[in-house]
Amino acid sequence: MPAPVADIWSRVQGELRREVTDTTYELWLAPLRATAYEGDVLVVEAPGAIRGWVADRFTVTLDRAAASVLGPHARVELAGAAEETPTTRRGARQGRGEPRPAPGVPPRGAVRVELNPKFTFDHFILGDGNRFAHAAALAVAELPAQAYNPLFLYGPPGVGKTHLLHSIGNYVRAYGAGATVRCTTAEAFTNAFLGALHGGDVDVFKERFRGVDVLLIDDVQFLESKARTEEEFFHTFNALHDSGSQVVLTSDRLPGDLAGLEDRLRERFESGLVADISPPDLPTRMTVLRKRVHHDGIALADEGALEVIARRIDTNMRALEGALIRVVAYHSLTNRPIDAALAEEVLAGLYPGVRNGARAAHRGQRPSVEQIQEATCAAFGLTREELLSDGRSQRLSWPRQVAMYLAREHTGQSLPAIGQAFGGRNHTTVMHACKRAIARLAEDSEASETVRALSERILADRAG
């Protein structure tokens, strides 16, 4: 693609990102590519599978974005994408045609991560699992370095840690009376530091990260087992803290569980406020889906489709929105209405949860963790003592994972509560068990059928 067209399209993409939600952009607009600009016409290729949908729903949006960049008479003309060959696919994966950074120079964007303007406190959906973390983040944004310093947010992927991190940055930039903010990831911090070492720009690097009022670091677990970067971050943290600057960190684990970090750094992380974010509960998941549907103008034939999605996907927001995207995409390609039946069909293979049993449980009382344990023991021929034991044989570990997964799916209990019911295990053990179960269910049809039948039996007993 000629450089001028690439530059133009990059600017148009920036306008498109401001006009639509992240989900809409990634599903419908990210696959588009500009190929030519002649006169006032910007030619944009669209894959055949989505071209009709894009033409019907986004022509005005595309024209408006082009006009913002190229002038009021500019418009977009959609064209079919060239057929992709195995060679071009392989070249794309290898990054052919892209400039390579000079040795010792970090990739462009490695030093800084731009704040996402859509990630604000106003757009954050509150639920029981994130209310405390939200309150702590807002307190820090309003009073940097006076409320909680550092603030350490932890939780599994996709539950809103990055959203809160960027919300703090956006709030401080808007209302912080000129306070300076730098937002990055631990991986980007590492790349920037290594680039500075090779390039002889360590002093510049230090000033970049230590001369700010608020430093936001995402995915700090990436620092594990990186001795030189960890050493530098330790000194950066101390310099900021001693100068009265705010530090906010996110991680997928508690500081004490980051075994690859030195004790002194873990102690720094624990010296402020540690706040967890749990996977969203059912009401929160329904709120997220309703808001996304309203914002994207998605026409539902039946809100039961959202209930199917919300009940099947309970791990994180990202998976929830991904499931909605999948259902909407299937609707756009088949022209079938978006209803409960379509959602069941589309998600059954990827998220093998319950079907009719979910509606039965919704009408009746939820099963208890103990009832799920008893049913699992009966199904796998175990005693309850064996299920709750520390035994790690496949005979015991798989049924235990299934029981934890079903407890998380159907009881509404928190991860710590479920862990307590399984012999005092911690919430990370339950989370890991659920992930293992989901992974096996997605790959093993026999296991999926066994768990589906067990799940429906449990729910049928409660509904009856």
Q: What domains are there in the chain, each with its CATH number?
A: 3-94 (3.30.300.180), 131-276 (3.40.50.300), 282-351 (1.10.8.60), 360-463 (1.10.1750.10)
Torsion angle in degrees (nearest 10) through CA of 31, 298, 354, 425: 70
Q: How far apart are CA 302 and CA 6, in angstroms?
A: 42
Could you give the C-alpha distances from 171 to 125, 199, 341, in angstroms and in order? 16, 34, 42
pLDDT at position 170, please? 92
pLDDT at position 351, please? 57
Q: What's the chain's average pLDDT?
A: 81
Look at 106 and 370; give whichever has higher pLDDT.
Answer: 370
Could you give the C-alpha distances from 131 to 121, 134, 135, 212, 277, in angstroms and in order? 12, 5, 6, 28, 8
In the sheet that holds 75-80, the strands lie side by side as: 33-38, 41-46, 75-80
Q: Tell me which of 49-63, 76-90, 301-315 is least confident.
A: 76-90
Give helix 445-463 / helix 427-443 axis angle, nearest 10°.
Answer: 120
Region 214-227 average pLDDT = 89
pLDDT at position 352, please? 53
Q: How far apart are CA 406 and CA 178, in angstroms?
A: 50
| 389-439 tens-digit pLDDT | 988 888 999 999 999 989 887 877 777 889 889 998 988 888 888 888 877
Query: Cβ contacts of residue 93 below 8 Å, gap of 6+?
Result: none
Please measure the distance between the N-terminal and C-terminal CA atoms of the chain and give it in whole angstroms.
63
pLDDT at position 462, please? 60
At 100, is the pLDDT very low, low, confident or very high (cuts 50, 70, 90)? very low
Q: How far apart are CA 173 and CA 167, in angstroms?
A: 10
At 445, is the pLDDT very low, low, confident or very high (cuts 50, 70, 90)? confident
pLDDT at position 104, please? 35
- The H or E element that residue 187 is part of is helix 186-199
pLDDT at position 403, please? 94
Other beta carbons within 10 angstroms of residue 332's beta carbon come to: 19
Look at 363 and 186; give whichever has higher pLDDT.
Answer: 186
Q: Which residues pair with 249 in a beta bridge?
A: 152, 217
Q: What share of the chain has pLDDT > 70, as a percent?
A: 86
pLDDT at position 331, please? 85
Q: How far apart are CA 220 and CA 217, in angstroms?
A: 6
Q: Which residues pair with 46 in a beta bridge?
A: 80
Region 75-86 average pLDDT = 64
Q: Name, of 97-106, 163-172, 185-194, the range with top average pLDDT.
A: 163-172
pLDDT at position 97, please? 33
Helix (H, G, I), strand (E, B) or coil at 113: coil
In the sheet that holds 214-218, the strands lie side by side as: 181-185, 214-218, 246-251, 151-154, 273-276
Query: Cβ contacts of residue 406 below 8 Å, gap of 6+?
Result: 372, 376, 451, 454, 455, 458
Could you give the C-alpha distances from 385 to 369, 391, 404, in angstroms and in order? 15, 10, 15
**Whether pLDDT at 23 is above 80:** no
